[in-house]
């Protein structure tokens, strides 16, 4: 493939970036490739079978051919349906349940790996590692806490890998990340005159982070990978606007968000020529987000009290090489939520622990090209909320969410 075609593919991937909708716990997006989706991302830091290893463990580039690229995407459909159980939004009249707060979103990604020498590889990754969108009907019972919460991230990840010897490879990457946030709600319920005032925050910012990884070829059939991604501190700036200038005049606004650090330990084990097993344990430092202060001209006008905790994720997967062209995948995972309980659960993030059930397949079209397909169904189950903001005039939302997430992904990988 000519280099100009690769440039066009990368440019198209950037243009295609859209809002992500949280699929992993919190608002993390694991869907950075489709080849791992079918295994519930078990073995993510050790698999290193295509250029998407740049995100999960850049050291894995040393296992690839001299030049490879991967281009893919995932369609994500979360569902969050609220049932009211005694919410209080006085003096406003209680209304609807908000409809389904989740909707379809598309999450593209692209990667390019280049072997400069036999032992040095350079790479570039494009993705969206964090994202969230919840949107309710304007007349729902929790409208004074949120009607829309939308977070987008765009991540550019140049990387380098070094094959130390046949057993050990090391990798390092920089992350330039852009974050955009939109938050809408109705004004605090102080009296009947203010309850139809809608307030909107639009803010964005750019920040830098870094990631490292190591890959160990323990034996011809066993690999172990470790990787770490740093916190990224975003200082968002934008505007706070409303449809009632007498109640809430337009003004400059800001908010600071520190996206969490992550650590992954993975292994893959070939049992024979047909079967391969993989495992994954990961940790996410969600405690970096305790509250988000929204400031207008330097003064805090609202705090989103998340009080997140650090979380763990465990995944197990298996591959079955059916023949020279087809590989079948499967996986399960348990994903812990950073939300501590009903009282700190936000209507903008009705998150809970979830179980992943995943399946997928790979078709090897030729020695140099592969197509991967994957799908996952995430079981969230019933989630209790009792978020009391009566003292701030934003009501008390009490009830239950019924939640689930469906994900389908595809990816094309090419060596050249």
Q: Do residues 109 and 127 touch, judged by C-beta distance below 8 A? A: yes
Residue 298: its pLDDT value, please? 86
Mean predicted confidence (pLDDT) in 285-313: 95
Band of residue 21 on the pLDDT scale cut at 50, 70, 90 = low
Indicate if the pLDDT at residue 248 is higher than 80.
yes
Cis before residue 292, ω within 30 degrees of 0? Answer: no
| Tens-digit pLDDT profile for residues 65-116 | 999 999 999 999 999 999 999 999 877 777 899 999 999 999 999 999 999 9
- The 3 state secondary structure assigned to the chain is CCHHHHHHHHHHHHHHCCCCCCCCCCCECCCCCCCCHHHCCCCCCCCCCCCCHHHHCHHHHHHCCCEEEEEEEEEEEEEEEEEECCCECCCCCCCECCCECCCCEEEEEEEEEEECCCCEEEEEEEECCEEEEEECCCCECCCCCCCEEEEEEEEEEEEEEEECCCCEEEEEEEEEEEEEEEEEEECCCCCCCCCCCEEEEEEEEEEEEEEEEEEEEEECCEEEEEEEECCEEEEEEEEEEECCCCCCCCEEEEEEEEECCEEEEEEEEECCCCEEEEEEEEEECHHHCCEEEEEECCEEEEEEECCCCCEEEEEEEEEEECCCCEEEEEEEEEECCCCCCHHHCECCECCCCEEEEEEEEEEECCCCEEEEEEEEEEEEEEEEEEEECHHHCCCEEEEEEEEEEEEEEEEEEEEC
Residue 12: its pLDDT value, please? 44
Mean predicted confidence (pLDDT) in 268-272: 97
Residue 22: its pLDDT value, please? 64
Q: 165-179, 188-202, 226-240, 311-325: which has the minimum mean pLDDT? A: 188-202
Computed over every residue of the chain, the mean pLDDT equals 92
Band of residue 391 on the pLDDT scale cut at 50, 70, 90 = confident
| Tens-digit pLDDT profile for residues 178-205 | 999 999 999 877 777 777 899 999 999 9
Between 272 and 7, residue with greater pLDDT: 272
Residue 16: its pLDDT value, please? 45
| Tens-digit pLDDT profile for residues 332-352 | 999 999 999 999 999 999 999
Mean predicted confidence (pLDDT) in 223-230: 98
Residue 167: its pLDDT value, please? 98
Residue 328: its pLDDT value, please? 98
Between 375 and 21, residue with greater pLDDT: 375
Q: Which two tokens stand for residue 372?
A: 């991967």
| Tens-digit pLDDT profile for residues 1-20 | 444 444 444 444 444 444 45
Indicate if the pLDDT at residue 132 is higher than 50.
yes
Mean predicted confidence (pLDDT) in 228-251: 93
């Amino acid at each position: 493939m000519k280099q100009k075609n690769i440039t066009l593919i990368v440019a198209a991937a950037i243009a295609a970036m859209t809002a992500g909708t949280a699929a992993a716990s919190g608002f993390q997006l694991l869907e950075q490739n489709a080849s791992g989706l079918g295994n519930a991302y078990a073995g993510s830091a050790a698999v290193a079978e295509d250029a998407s290893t740049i995100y999960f463990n850049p050291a894995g580039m040393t296992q690839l051919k001299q030049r490879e690229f991967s281009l893919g995407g995932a369609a994500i459909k979360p569902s969050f349906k609220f049932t009211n159980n005694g919410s209080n939004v006085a003096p406003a009249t209680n209304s609807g349940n908000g409809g389904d707060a989740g909707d379809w979103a598309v999450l593209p990604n692209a990667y390019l790996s280049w072997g400069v020498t036999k032992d040095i590889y350079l790479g570039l990754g494009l993705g969206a590692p964090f994202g969230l969108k919840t949107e309710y009907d304007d007349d729902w019972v929790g409208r004074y806490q949120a009607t829309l919460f939308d977070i987008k991230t765009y991540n550019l990840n140049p990387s380098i890998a070094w094959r130390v010897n046949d057993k050990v490879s090391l990798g390092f990457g920089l992350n330039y990340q852009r974050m955009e946030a939109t938050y809408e709600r109705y004004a605090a319920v102080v009296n009947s005159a203010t309850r139809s005032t809608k307030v909107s925050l639009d803010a964005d910012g750019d920040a830098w982070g870094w990631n490292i990884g190591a890959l160990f070829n323990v034996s011809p059939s066993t690999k172990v990978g470790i990787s770490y991604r740093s916190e990224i501190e975003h200082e968002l700036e934008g505007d706070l606007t409303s449809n009632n200038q007498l109640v809430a005049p337009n003004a400059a606004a800001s908010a600071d968000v520190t996206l969490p650090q992550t650590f992954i330990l993975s292994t893959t084990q070939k049992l024979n020529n047909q079967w391969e097993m993989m495992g994954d344990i990961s940790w996410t430092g969600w405690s970096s987000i305790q509250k988000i202060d929204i400031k207008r001209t330097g003064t805090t006008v609202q705090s989103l009290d998340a009080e997140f905790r650090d979380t763990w994720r465990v995944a197990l997967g298996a591959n079955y090489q059916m023949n020279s062209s087809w590989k079948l995948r499967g996986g399960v995972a348990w994903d812990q939520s950073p939300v501590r309980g009903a009282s700190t659960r936000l209507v903008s993030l009705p998150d809970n622990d979830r179980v992943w059930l995943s399946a997928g397949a790979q078709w090897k079209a030729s020695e140099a090209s592969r197509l991967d397909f994957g799908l996952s169904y995430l079981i969230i189950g019933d989630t209790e909320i009792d978020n009391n903001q009566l003292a701030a005039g934003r009501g008390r939302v009490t009830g239950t969410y019924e939640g689930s997430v469906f994900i389908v992904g595809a990816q094309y990988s090419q060596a050249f």
